[in-house]
Amino acid sequence: MGKKTIVSRDGFELGIYEAQPDGKPKGGIVVLQEIFGVNKHVREVVDEYAREGYVAIAPQIFDRVERDVELGYTEQPDFDKGLRIAFEDLQMEQTLQDIQASVNAIRNHGPVGVVGYCFGGLLTWLSACHLENVTAGSAYYGGGISGHATLVPKCPMIMHFGEKDAHIPMSDVEIIKQAQSDVDVFVYDADHGFNCGDRASYHAESAALAKRRTLEHFERNLT
């Protein structure tokens, strides 16, 4: 496990964090970051998927704006910086291009799934709808998905939302459910960011259930 570099279609060199399983890989998993960069939590998620038998990588999506961004969860300036980079500075076309390069980088290990959190949840949905060779996706509390709810995914998708999430109202979740009858949309008694043990909103029971559902989803579709 450790940091490597891949090359996107336009020649841009993108940093990734990668972890390998002990035995023969079941396939590959691309882990898409929150607005806080590929920080300790995201690296831990990558390591977890490697322990489950997948080659897992997290592309440093912010590298086109600033390399090696790694932000915390408690300081307002970190939140503001991550929000600005994600929703003002990045160009979505380039971001999806970099995710495609990440998928391509691990395709030799088998089918590739994508899982993302917060901003990465939105990117997971867009990847499932626009990119090639994404075999399955799992999106956690992806803000903004409701604005793209009528897109057609190319692969099986599941989604996870927190009922107490002030950033994503249940009315947005209902829009997604109505538009995507083939997508399993799970709602938990939890807040935004419930999967992250470094956040005050962490909810262990919901995190464990969402992880189990995600692993089962990948088992069905990647192996």
Percentage of the chain lying above the pLDDT 90 cut: 99
**Residue numbers annotated as active site:** 118, 165, 192
Residue 162 to residue 188: CA distance in whole angstroms = 5
Summarize pLDDT for 98-107 with one digit per residue, the tens.
Answer: 999 999 999 9
**Structure confidence at residue 223 (pLDDT):** 79
Is 17 within 8 Å of 69 (Cβ atoms)? no
Residue 178 to residue 175: CA distance in whole angstroms = 5
pLDDT band at residue 128 under the 50/70/90 scheme? very high
**Structure confidence at residue 22 (pLDDT):** 95
Is 70 within 8 Å of 38 (Cβ atoms)? yes
Rounded to 5°, angle at Cα 103 from 133 and 87: 110
| Residue recorded with tokens 């009528």 | 150
Is 115 within 8 Å of 28 (Cβ atoms)? no
Residue 145, φ and ψ in degrees, nearest 5 = -60, -35
Please report the domains of the chain, with CATH numbers, ordered by start residue.
2-222 (3.40.50.1820)
Of 179, 13, 191, 210, nearest to 105 (Cα)?
Answer: 13
pTM over 0.75: yes
